[in-house]
Each structure stands twice: as structure tokens, then as C-alpha cells.
Amino acid sequence: MNKVVSNADEAVRGIEDGMTLMLGGFGLCGLPENSIAALVKKGVKNLTCISNNAGVDDFGIGLMLKQRQVKKMISSYVGENAEFERQLLSGELEVELIPQGTLATRCMAAGYGMPAIFTPAGIGTEVAEGKEVRNFKGKDYLMEMAFEADFAIVKAWKGDTMGNLVYRATARNFNAVMAMAGNVTIAEVEELVEPGELDPDHIHTPGIYVHRIYQGKNYQKRIEQRTVTKK
């Protein structure tokens, strides 16, 4: 199977209005920047986006929010995006806030083929409303369903043409669990190499999970909050 596509536009083919997307990244680290730009260009709308955060106003998913492409955000943190806040308060955007560990584990469950997980996070709060609670050994656990995503879009440091991926440092974040979880997984990488050039012991995502891969370009690698020591 030839998994290599020539660019981001070709990688996002088949993504249509109303679909559910997983997008890797944490803050502004490890975002699939090229793929997001291609989605903005494509103009698809009414998307449900599963992501740790909603980007910032002029970067990441924030670009899609600006173009009114997102119908619903499923995230664990959304505090740095003024446009997101405006759309939420005005009722233009549906939002489901999820504890970060629950978000990661629901991604993992989808990748492992598990229909649901049980977690103590959210018990006794609004998060638990309308959901099944079971007691195990005297402790209540909330049942959360595995995510169902049409596409997972991730970004890695290196990848080979068979789809094996290596993430660099904290850019591994949600990319690794989301790469396993989409019906179709798109990976953009900073460097695309031939099979055998990656050390097998260093591969984080096996190529079996990846359906399309391409080499991105012009990565900004922004820092969301820069804190420096005064001299």
C-alpha cells in the first residue's frame, strides 16, 4: 500500500462537512499545522473537533474557528482563544469540556477497540449528568464512551513511507493516542525517510495505524506562553 501523498491538500481529501476529526497537539506544540491550513483552504464546515485545546486566535484550530468551520469542540482546555470564548458565549459553538485524562483515555480506548472506559474523574459533578455510574470495590466510576472519529490528523517529527512515526519530546502528547484512533489517520512529518532508516526501538506509532503520510513544510513552532527570567 502506498501511503505517501504529495501535500496537505491531497492528505485531507475525503474530509467533508459534518465529520468528526481528532487533531493532535498540546497547546501550540505538535500541531498538524499544514493539515489545518489545508482544511481552512478546503472550507469544510459543521465539523466536530476533538483536541486537547482550541488553539489561539490566529493559529491552530483557531484558524478554523475564525472561518466558522467548527460546530462543536470536544476539549480539555480552551483558555487562550478569544474567538472561541466569543462563539461559546454567543451560542454559536457547542462545547464539551472533558477532564484531560478522560480525553486521552477515550482516544486510547478507540485505538484499542474498547467501546468504553470507567473512570472516577467527574463523579459528583456536571460531567456525570446522564451517564452510567458503576461501583467497583466500593468506589463509583463513570462510564465514558470511546471516541468515534472519521479522521485523526497528527504531526510527527520523523516518519517513513510505511507510516511509522517518531515524535520529538513533548510533541508526542496527544498525537500518539489519536494516531491509533481515527477511521483514517493522516500524519504530517517534518522529515520523511525510507523504510529502515528509523530505529525500530524509537518508533512511537507503528505504520499499521497510519493511512496517509506526507512531509510538511514551514513549521512555525510557536510558544504559547513565554516566561523569562529578568536579569
With cut-offs at 50, 70 and 90, classify the pLDDT of residue 27: confident
Cα angle, residue 184 at apex, residues 13 and 153 outer, rounded to 5°: 75
Phi, psi for 182 (deg, rounded to 5): -85, 150
**Does residue 108 carry a pLDDT above 90?**
yes
Place of cell 467497583: 136
Distance CA 209, CA 112 (A): 11
E-strand ranges in 76-224 read 94-97, 116-119, 133-136, 139-145, 149-160, 165-166, 182-193, 212-215
Please give the residue that has the higher pLDDT: either 46 or 80. 46
Which letter does DSSP use for residue 226 in this model? -
Distance CA 147, CA 145 (A): 6
Please, what CATH class does the domain formed by 8-116+146-215 belong to?
A: alpha beta
| Domain regions of the chain by residue span | 8-116+146-215
With cut-offs at 50, 70 and 90, classify the pLDDT of residue 220: confident
Q: Give the pTM.
A: 0.92
Output the pLDDT for position 198.
96
With cut-offs at 50, 70 and 90, classify the pLDDT of residue 226: confident
**Does residue 225 carry a pLDDT above 80?**
no
Place of cell 490528523: 153
Asked whether the beta carbons of 122 and 136 are under 8 A apart, the reply is no
For residue 3, which of 198, 194, 174, 181 has the smallest C-alpha distance?
194
